[in-house]
Amino acid sequence: MSPSDLAAPWRSLGLTDWEYEQIVDKLGRGPNRVELAMFSLLWSEHCGYKHSKKLLRALPTEGERVVMGPGENAGAVDVGHGLAVAFKVESHNHPSAVEPFQGAATGVGGILRDVFAIGARPIALLDSLRFGEPVSSRSRYLLDHAVAGIGHYGNSIGVPTVGGEVYFEGPYEANCLVNAMCVGLAPQERLIRAAAGGVGNHVVLMGASTGRDGIGGASVLASAELDEGDQLKRPSVQIGDPFEEKKLLECCLELLERELLTSLQDLGAAGLTSAAAEMASKGEVAIDLDISRIPLREPGMEPFEIMVSESQERMLAVVSPERLDAAFAVCERWEVRATSIGRVAEGDALRVFDGEELVGDVPVRALVDECPLYDLEPDEVQRPRYRAPPELLSSEDPAVNLLALLASPNLTSRRPLFEQYDWLVQSRTVRRPGEADAAVLVLPSGAAIAVAIDGNGRRVAADPERGTAEAVYECAANLACVGAEPLGLTNCLNFGNPEKPGIAWQLTRAVAGLGDACRALGVPVVGGNVSLYNEGPQGPIYPTPVVGVVGELPDAARAGRLGFANEGDAIALAGRYAPSLEASELAKLRGKPLPNELPGLDVDELRRTLAAVRGGVRSGALASAHDIAEGGLAVAIAECCIAGGVGAEVALPPGAPSAPTGAASGPTGAASGPSDAPSAPTDPIAALFGEQPGAFVVSGEEGALLALDAEIAVIGRVGGAGMRLRAGEASLEVPVADLRHAHASGLASFFP
């Protein structure tokens, strides 16, 4: 700590001099050590969303199926038959960069608690991961330990990991991203909110004892850039115990089923301070806590340490006096420690006692509702300029390009990773990882939900607005390929330091793109998370908005698959497709720098195509469906061959893929006139490997394909032992066995 920090201790806690002056003004005095620690956490970027809250207010959050929206521990949507699906995605980036196993494991534990805190049983996990290039020993270390941490926690607690994504890019070398998504299921009448209520009700702490692990995590790790001394921050990383959380989960769900709780909140970032303050704020009440009653794992903990500890596997509940004994009996049966540590009171204060001594007295409104919010100062001129990747591929041979792409880190099979996860536990998984573009889980009614998570930092770095919109379109396309219609969206916005004008510009444009895409598709945002200051000594990460979408399909038995299914089936290109090599995976392998703009697309046509593919899967007209994404058309066809274990013969007709013929897209897809239409590629390599959302490779009986209400071009047939593809003068022929070998090889060496 520098001499200036000794004279002004709030600086070392992440507070500015101006923010400290605001605290003094609100209290009418200087804060003591406990109060200063509480403010430093709730006014941190991680808890207070100081640089993003104003932007997030513009996102669409309402919809006829929304049961719970932003502001609760998780969002929830109506899936019929009296059931609601709860879901949320959150980050644990900085802890995972410092201690990847525990950082990733406790990230899973935290997102599980967010879901069962509203009364839903967790039924699925997904993860979105980013690391530096796998040639780096640090990246391989982070990958290995983060994946192990995710598997350890999810497998131990009995929640399947059913999907996810992982990308490798240089800008994530120092600052990896670990985003975890959880999906839960509950009867709608059992959902509970976090608002404390009932003056005189008990405040009950349940779960693990409190220790010094995680102290300052929200302010020390999650609200500052990492630097060369990040290993010194290991004490700020929490330690998880999935078996303790399993008992806590079952205990909480029984307490809610028996209607013994008034409200429930998990203890995550900022620990008891955040949980108690947020419950009081939402309920517009005061809370008095006595920290001398809290079971401690370590002797001699000071009051401020107890209040800001981020020890895992803890929940805070409000229980009426007449139900307290019954609630304690349930906790005892589940071997969950439960202690009354306070009461709900009148007023607007969070008061902290240590026995008879008052050690903290803070207005709840000042802590939660009056956190300073900052206006960003975006400047595109100062946007980060990311260095071009090394050139790894120079061949013009289409077959060489295809095999190189299939083996590349961002496109290769994730099977070695998913083999560390249990994706079948709970027996709801209808489509396993690799079988379809989205995970599918059966509901008690026989209907199903589908879940997808997506984001592409390189494309967002090139064009934050369009790149973010593409993540929404990609998730919607993934759901359409299994026959599901989107019901709601959650997001995790991973960016660099928002105080820098170029990063502020990335964040501002990305949120605008997210909102526009959600409005265009009619998908409400029901919750999310923001993770800023993701920077290392070499600069910021790629701006990485991660999007998770939940949808429904009426019949789990008709869920779509991506693999070609039947010899002789027709193969068709569905939707308007105008691929470009700009910011593509092939451009990366060729060492090309990022462009400053991505092509637009016709969103009206995209909606029509999504509906047609979704309907074709539901009716059985489509034997397979796969959206064209990273690697372009050739990679999409190869993936269909690999998944189906059968070859294909495809010839693109002259002029295909074709550009849209009507109105084209503006910045994020709104029609803006033919002059903006992306032109068809004249380069056959671009036709084969260029990228652009909105088109699909589908197969089935030719008549059924041509009957789809979308632009359809029949381009080939399923069959044979190899993939044969021709586009103009370019052609390739590769045995399916070679495709499978290339696709399986990329990550295998990282998981011996």
Active site residues: 46, 92
Q: What is the DSSP string of 444-463?
A: TTS-EEEEEEE--HHHHHH-
Is residue 523 a contact partner of residue 162, using CB atoms and an 8 Å limit? no
SS3 of residue 507 by DSSP: helix
- HEC string of 354-391? ECCEEEEEEEHHHHHHCCCCCCCCCCHHHCCCCCCCCC
∠ CA 458-636-670, rounded to 5°: 55
Q: Cα(394)–Cα(342) distance, rounded to whole angstroms? A: 67
∠ CA 568-572-576, rounded to 5°: 180
Q: Cα(534)–Cα(224) distance, rounded to whole angstroms? A: 8
- 540 preceded by a cis bond (ω within 30 of 0): no
Q: Cα(272)–Cα(197) distance, rounded to whole angstroms? A: 17
SS3 of residue 202 by DSSP: strand
Distance of CA 734 to the CA centre of its chain: 36
Q: Cα(634)–Cα(690) distance, rounded to whole angstroms? A: 9
Distances (CA, A) of 454 to 167, 181, 469, 630: 11, 11, 11, 12
Torsion-angle region of 744 (φ positive above 0: left; ψ -120 to 50: alpha; else: beta): alpha
Is residue 544 a contact partner of residue 460, using CB atoms and an 8 Å limit? yes
Of 613, 597, 596, which is closest to residue 605 (Cα–Cα)?
613
Of 520, 268, 469, 502, which is closest to residue 378 (Cα–Cα)?
502
Q: Which residue has the tokens 């930092």?
A: 457
Length of the chain counted residue by residue: 752
- HEC string of 49-107? CCCCHHHHCCCCCCCCCEEECECECCEEEEEECCEEEEEEEEECHHHHHHCHHHHHHHH
